[in-house]
């Protein structure tokens, strides 16, 4: 029996489903999750000692490659000085200054420990600032697992959402409207009807939790125009895209200044660290300055801040994003070419260090499109790649992530594996 399977069976006895986050259980692709024993650069090794090229990178944080020696050293140095104080540190100021410099829409920022906390706090803040209750989110966008965001669309266009998870009272999702990503007309109609009651719009400015989906230029522009017109807070949830699609995040690519931004994943360099920030007049409403409560025992944790600061230092080096984007584009183009040669209906797209592969004729523009792609074929491709030693996200609804450690040889090795895997899933 494989050691991965042995561990999975053992895990299931005392951990629900054997995992601490559901996607890790391989539920949508089947088979045995790989238990990671260690990782370095673009690779990790599983419990059987098999090596994989990793295209998840901890779902984004590992942008400089796993176990980067400079990040490890920074973490080790910080750890020696104590793990957590529950009192302010100088490094937290360095981190806040770095974030505000790199993401200019952020004038003030607060550090938290997870993306879920960041978005939950940003929404509470938007509600406290505007004195309004209703919020808009988009179908297929994921913003963590706080109650008011675990929502699926209601039955009618302007009906409020229903819980997408058991345990969330319908009352809690009553104030959340779920609209279609990239549907400008629906957005405009909703604002015309309810704009004055809407506290905030939260979106993934480039979606990565329904595979990679880009917004249209018009959608992005209308979002800013309508939220400005109605005094609604525009929240760019850049937990995934921040420091991933570009140094300044998706907002720098869109040329949009959101009111609030949430960050996570890359900002912590692999440690539990996230952040929310934005306009100083809005951030001034948070306690202890204002009446919107928010706190955290481990917020601004010194070891996490050390990992994040070193990661931010590395990604600012000359050519970092040019290289990352070029490698990712090479991968996406190579995969699309390989599919074409194999006669498999599949396309690919990328932005910065993020990519999507879609078993469909065209690149999807929203959640409904993604559900219509050939997820059965994706499943077979996923397992064929896994056999080849290439670890893709175990779900057709997730984007992929490339790191600076994915050099030409690794990309070429991946494409060679893909050509064989696509041959297997053709027909």
Ligand X SMILES: *Cc1c(COP(=O)(O)O)cnc(C)c1O
Which residues are catalytically annotated? 142, 237, 265
Q: How far is the CB of 218 from ligand X (least distance, A)?
A: 22
In the bound complex, what is the minimum distance in angstroms from residue 213's beta carbon to ligand X? 12
Q: How far is the CB of 50 from ligand X (least distance, A)?
A: 27
| 3-state per-residue secondary structure call for the chain | CCHHHHHHHHHHHHCHHHCCCHHHHCCCCCCCCCCEEEEEECEEEECCCCEEEECCHHHCCCCCCECCHHHHHHHHHHHHCCCCCCCCCHHHHHHHHHHHHHCCCCCEEEEECCHHHHHHHHHHHHHHHHCCCEEEEECCCCCCCCHHHCEECCCCCCCCCEECCCCCCHHHHCCEEEECCCCHHHHHHHHHHHHHHEEEEEECCCECCCCCECCCHHHHHHHHHHHHHHCCEEEEEECCCECCCECCHHHHHHCCCCCEEEECHHHHCCCCCEEEEECHHHHCCECCCCCECCCCCCCCCHHHHHHHHHHHHHHCCCCHHHHHHHHHHHHHHHHHHHHHHHCCCCEEEEECCEEEEECCCCCCCCHHHHHCCCHHHHHHHHHHHHHCCEECCCCCCCCEECCCCCCHHHHHHHHHHHHHHHHHHCC
**Number of residues that this document lists for the chain:** 427
CB-nearer residue toward ligand X: 137 or 377: 137
- For the bound state, the minimum distance from the C-beta of residue 360 to ligand X, rounded and expressed in Å, comes to 22
Shortest Å distance, C-beta 368 to ligand X: 19
Nearer to ligand X, 140 or 334 (CB): 140
**Burial (0-12, 13-18, 19+ Cβ within 10 Å), 85:** exposed
How would you classify residue 190: left for phi > 0, otherwise alpha for psi between -120 and 50, otherwise beta? alpha
Rounded alpha-carbon distances, angstroms, from residue 427 to 90, 95, 167, 420, 423: 59, 52, 43, 14, 9
Of the pair 65, 242, the CB lying nearest ligand X is at: 242
Residue with Cβ nearer ligand X (22 or 82): 22
Q: How far is the CB of 291 from ligand X (least distance, A)?
A: 25
Tell the smallest beta-carbon distance from residue 240 to ligand X (Å): 3
Residue nearest to ligand X (CB): 115
Measured from the CB atom, the residue of 111 and 239 that comes closer to ligand X is: 239
For residues 106 and 421, which CB has a smaller minimum distance to ligand X in the complex? 106
Q: Which residues bind ligand X (CB under 6 A)?
A: 114-116, 119, 142-144, 204, 208-209, 237, 239-240, 264, 274
Q: How far is the CB of 18 from ligand X (least distance, A)?
A: 19
Residue among 53 and 240 whose Cβ is closer to ligand X: 240
Nearer to ligand X, 20 or 77 (CB): 20
With 0-12 / 13-18 / 19 or more C-beta atoms within 10 angstroms meaning exposed / middle / buried, residue 419 is: middle
């Amino acid at each position: 029996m494989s050691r991965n399977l042995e561990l999975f069976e053992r895990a299931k006895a005392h951990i629900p489903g054997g995992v601490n986050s559901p996607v890790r259980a391989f539920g949508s692709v089947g088979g045995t999750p790989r238990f990671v024993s260690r990782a370095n650069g673009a690779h990790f090794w599983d419990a059987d000692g098999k090596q994989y090229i990793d295209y998840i990178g901890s779902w984004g944080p590992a942008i400089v490659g796993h176990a980067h020696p400079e990040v490890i050293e920074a973490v080790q140095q910080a750890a020696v000085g104590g793990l957590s104080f529950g009192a302010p540190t100088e490094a937290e100021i360095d981190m806040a200054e770095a974030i505000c410099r790199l993401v200019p829409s952020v004038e003030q920022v607060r550090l938290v420990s997870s993306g879920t906390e960041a978005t939950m706090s940003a929404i509470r803040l938007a509600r406290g600032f505007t004195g309004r209750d209703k919020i808009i989110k988009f179908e297929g966008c994921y913003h963590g697992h706080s109650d008011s965001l675990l929502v699926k669309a209601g039955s009618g266009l302007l009906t409020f959402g229903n819980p997408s998870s058991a345990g969330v009272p319908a009352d809690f999702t009553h104030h959340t409207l779920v609209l279609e990503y990239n549907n400008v007309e629906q957005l405009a109609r909703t604002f015309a009807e309810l704009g004055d009651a809407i506290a905030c719009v939260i979106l993934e400015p480039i979606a990565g939790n329904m595979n990679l989906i880009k917004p249209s230029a018009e959608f992005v522009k209308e979002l800013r125009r309508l939220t400005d017109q109605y005094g609604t807070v525009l929240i760019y949830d850049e937990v995934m895209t921040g420091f991933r699609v570009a140094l300044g995040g998706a907002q720098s690519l869109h040329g949009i200044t959101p009111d609030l931004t949430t960050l996570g994943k890359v900002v912590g360099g692999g440690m539990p660290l996230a952040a929310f920030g934005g306009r100083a007049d809005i951030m001034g409403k948070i306690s202890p300055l204002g009446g919107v409560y928010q706190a955290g025992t481990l917020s601004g944790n010194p070891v996490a801040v050390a990992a994040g600061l070193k990661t931010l230092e590395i990604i600012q080096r000359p050519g970092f994003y040019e290289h990352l984007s070029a490698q990712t584009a090479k991968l996406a183009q190579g995969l699309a070419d390989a599919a074409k040669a194999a006669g498999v209906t599949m396309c690919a797209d990328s932005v910065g260090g993020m990519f999507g592969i879609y078993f469909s004729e065209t690149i999807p523009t929203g959640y409904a499109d993604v559900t219509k792609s050939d997820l059965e074929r994706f499943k077979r491709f996923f397992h064929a790649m896994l056999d080849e030693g290439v670890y893709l996200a175990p779900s057709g609804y997730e984007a992929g992530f490339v790191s600076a450690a994915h050099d030409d040889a690794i990309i070429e090795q991946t494409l060679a594996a893909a050509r064989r895997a696509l041959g297997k899933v053709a027909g």
